[in-house]
């Protein structure tokens, strides 16, 4: 009986790994006869797992759609990786409770030896604060909003939402209607890449979106090339997506500046062989100041005025520290 149960689990694992399997190939993989495979398929059906069969020379078996889902089958390394990822991964602010529930359910079904491995990692590993790179609190992202946007992208449905940029009076007072194409996660933030009604591409911060009622209207997809979405987000955020933006004159060539930063994180405009302008930004003035200092190059800042004043304050602070 134990051998049969193990074989049924192995059979389910194979059938989950790809859509269709000829019976002869399943028999070869499991080291049994095709008759045994037929009997095992019947047992799976008796247990409530829908298995469709196509007869004939090109026949095959495949898991069908039904009310009872097959179990999640993971090998040892996969199970430990998922559990450790849920326990120690940075995740998304606002989804910690969901991750904890998923981990609790997974640990309930882990074999004792694997549960001990996961617990050993948990008790011997220390995790630093998630927000070590900024003095700005991570945005809260509602999982329902993320899944709703993802469903609209999957189904090719228009998305309507209000968009409010904090501390800004430039947000439109009417709902925005877009063709959603891709969700991008970058530096603890979620962004939507979408086309507006005029056909122009834009990036929208998900935590600044307030979804309206679903439209149910389909659009004719006009996507970007697959690899362009991330670069578009990085470029667009550098110029329009931050709370604070700055134009900084750097006393070095554009090539020198580009060699020290990711080309998509800041827009570099050449002036001459010895200077250029860097357009960059961040969620706080403190972070912008840190970015500038990390370049290791001489620079001059004229805007925004708040950044100029902040640089004066920290410059005086640094000078006082060596007096």
Q: Using one digit for the tens of pLDDT, what is the confidence trace for 188-201?
A: 678 899 999 899 99
Please, which pLDDT band fits residue 132 given cuts at 50, 70 and 90?
very low
- Give pLDDT tens digits for 287-309: 888 888 888 899 999 888 888 99
Predicted confidence at residue 90, as pLDDT, reads 45
- Give pLDDT tens digits for 106-117: 777 677 777 777
- Give pLDDT tens digits for 223-275: 988 768 888 887 777 666 677 778 899 999 999 988 888 655 678 889 999 99
* Residue 220 CB partners (closer than 8 Å, separation 6+): none
Give yes or no for a contact between 158 and 173, defined as CB atoms under 8 angstroms apart: no
Distance of CA 203 to the CA centre of its chain: 15
Q: What angle do CA 124, 128, 134 make, to 5 degrees?
A: 170
- What pairs with residue 210 in β-bridges? 162
H-assigned helices in the chain: 2-17, 23-30, 34-46, 76-88, 96-109, 112-124, 143-155, 228-236, 254-258, 285-294, 305-320
Task: Select from 3.30.420.130, 3.40.920.10, 1.10.10.10, 3.90.1300.10 the CATH code of 2-63.
Answer: 1.10.10.10
* Residue 232 CB partners (closer than 8 Å, separation 6+): 193, 201, 203, 224
* Residue 23 CB partners (closer than 8 Å, separation 6+): 34, 37, 38, 59, 60, 61
Quote the percentage of the chain above a pLDDT of 70. Answer: 78
pTM, full prediction: 0.55
Using the predicted structure, report yes or no on whether residue 30 has a pLDDT greater than 70.
yes
Higher pLDDT, 147 or 163: 163
- Average pLDDT score over residue span 77-104: 67
Q: Which of 65-74, 81-90, 171-180 has the highest mean pLDDT?
A: 171-180
Predicted confidence at residue 67, as pLDDT, reads 40
Predicted confidence at residue 75, as pLDDT, reads 67
Using the predicted structure, report yes or no on whether residue 313 has a pLDDT greater than 80.
yes
- Domain covering 143-230 in this structure, CATH number: 2.30.30
Give yes or no for a contact between 146 and 206, defined as CB atoms under 8 angstroms apart: yes
Give yes or no for a contact between 30 and 11, defined as CB atoms under 8 angstroms apart: yes
- Average pLDDT score over residue span 160-182: 78
Give yes or no for a contact between 210 and 255, defined as CB atoms under 8 angstroms apart: no
The topology under which CATH files domain 242-320 is Alpha-Beta Plaits (3.30.70)
Predicted confidence at residue 169, as pLDDT, reads 56
Q: How far apart are CA 31 and CA 10, in angstroms?
A: 11
**What is the average pLDDT value for the chain, to the nearest integer?**
79
């Amino acid at each position: 009986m134990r051998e049969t149960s193990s074989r049924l689990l192995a059979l389910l694992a194979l059938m989950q790994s790809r859509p269709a399997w000829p019976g002869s190939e399943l028999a070869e993989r499991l080291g049994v006869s095709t008759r045994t495979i037929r009997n095992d398929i019947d047992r799976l059906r008796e247990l409530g797992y829908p298995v469709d069969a196509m007869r004939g020379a090109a026949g095959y078996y495949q898991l069908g759609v039904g009310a009872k889902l097959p179990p999640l089958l993971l090998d040892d390394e996969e199970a430990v990786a998922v559990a450790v990822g849920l326990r120690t991964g940075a995740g998304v602010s606002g989804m910690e409770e969901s991750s904890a529930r998923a981990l609790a359910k997974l640990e309930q079904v882990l074999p004792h030896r694997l549960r001990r491995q996961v617990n050993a990692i948990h008790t011997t590993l220390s995790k630093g604060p998630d927000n070590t790179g900024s003095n700005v609190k991570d945005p809260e992202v509602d999982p329902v909003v993320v899944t709703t946007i993802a469903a609209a992208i999957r189904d090719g449905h228009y998305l309507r939402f209000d968009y409010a940029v904090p501390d800004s009076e430039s947000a439109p007072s009417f709902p925005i209607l877009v063709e959603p194409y891709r969700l991008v996660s970058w530096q603890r933030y979620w962004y939507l890449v979408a086309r507006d009604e005029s056909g122009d591409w834009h990036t929208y911060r998900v935590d600044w979106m307030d979804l309206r009622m679903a439209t149910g209207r389909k659009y004719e997809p006009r996507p970007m090339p697959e690899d362009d979405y991330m670069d578009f987000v990085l470029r667009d955020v550098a110029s329009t997506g931050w709370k604070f933006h700055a134009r900084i004159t750097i006393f070095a060539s554009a090539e020198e500046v580009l060699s020290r930063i990711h080309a998509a994180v800041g827009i570099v405009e050449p002036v001459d062989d010895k200077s250029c302008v860097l357009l960059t930004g961040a969620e706080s003035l403190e972070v912008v100041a840190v970015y500038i200092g990390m370049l290791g190059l001489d620079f001059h800042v004229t805007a925004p005025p708040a950044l100029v004043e902040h640089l004066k304050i920290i410059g005086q602070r640094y000078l006082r520290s060596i007096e």
